[in-house]
Amino acid sequence: MTRADSLNIVAFLGSPRKEGNTDLLLKETIRGIEDSGASVKTINLNQRRIKPCQDCGGCEQSGECIIADDMTEIYGDIRRADRIILASPIFFFSLSAQTKIMIDRCQSFWCEKYLLKRPLPQGRFGRKGLLIMVGGMKKEIGVECGSATAKAFFRTVSVNEHAVLSFLGVDAKGAIAGHPAALEDAYRAGRNLAAV
């Protein structure tokens, strides 16, 4: 068994568009990871039942969210992950709502790390991340805002280093396939992420 075989990798797809630009980029990233000998659990956030954070304070004493929905499984996936991929289109200058709802529910990890002083452990391979974003406009602000939110998420779940891949001016469904370098970049990012 190679070391890459043992990596726990979870990927969050934050676009509602099947075969859309984020989906295609993520698939190439996963191809790169799988060619490295590792496998990926992909979570299509648009298909999950996730209630937005209620700011109820239920996680403050325990670090555990009290809402019972699909986040229960996702909390376990994040807890166990050695590598986390966040892939989102840019919607209104930031990450998609599908992505942001999941991130907000990670407030329980925030409490666990910063209030209870119990950060998620680094595990055998360290915890690393990859952020993939694609926007239809050519305005950098979407990438800047999305990056800030994603960084806060990653650090909260003890992912202390992450790579960023972003593409702007890609709007039509599947248009990323016509980009001169994007899919190759995504594949390479996958290989890099699986390197141990």
Ligand X SMILES: Cc1cc2nc3c(=O)[nH]c(=O)nc-3n(C[C@H](O)[C@H](O)[C@H](O)COP(=O)(O)O)c2cc1C
Based on the shown chain and the rule CB under 6 A, indicate whether residue 13 belongs to the binding site for ligand X.
no
Q: Which two tokens stand for residue 119?
A: 């950060």
Torsion of CA 65, 91, 175, 192, to 10 degrees: -40
Among 12, 91, 154, 187, binds ligand X (CB under 6 A): 91
Judged by DSSP in three states, 142 sits in helix
> Which CB, 32 or 89, lies closer to ligand X?
89
Judged by DSSP in three states, 193 sits in helix
Question: Hey, what amino acid is at 185?
Answer: D
Among 62, 160, 173, 184, binds ligand X (CB under 6 A): 173
Alpha helices by DSSP H, listed for the chain, are 21-35, 71-80, 97-104, 107-110, 141-156, 182-194
Lay out the site mask for ligand X across 15-34 (x = CB under 6 A, - = otherwise).
x-x--xxxx-----------
With CB under 6 A as the rule, give the number of residues binding ligand X: 20
Applying CB under 6 A, the span of 78-86, 121-129, 158-166, 167-175 interacting with ligand X comes to 167-175
Judged by DSSP in three states, 67 sits in coil
Radius of gyration for the alpha carbons in the chain, expressed in angstroms and rounded: 16
Among 1, 55, 92, 181, binds ligand X (CB under 6 A): 92
Lay out the site mask for ligand X across 126-145 (x = CB under 6 A, - = otherwise).
--------xxxx-x--x---
Calculate the alpha carbon distances from 167 to 90, 149, 186 in Å.
10, 17, 11
Among 29, 84, 89, 101, binds ligand X (CB under 6 A): 89
User: Which residues in this chain contact ligand X in the complex, by CB under 6 A?
Assistant: 15, 17, 20-23, 89-93, 134-137, 139, 142, 170-171, 173
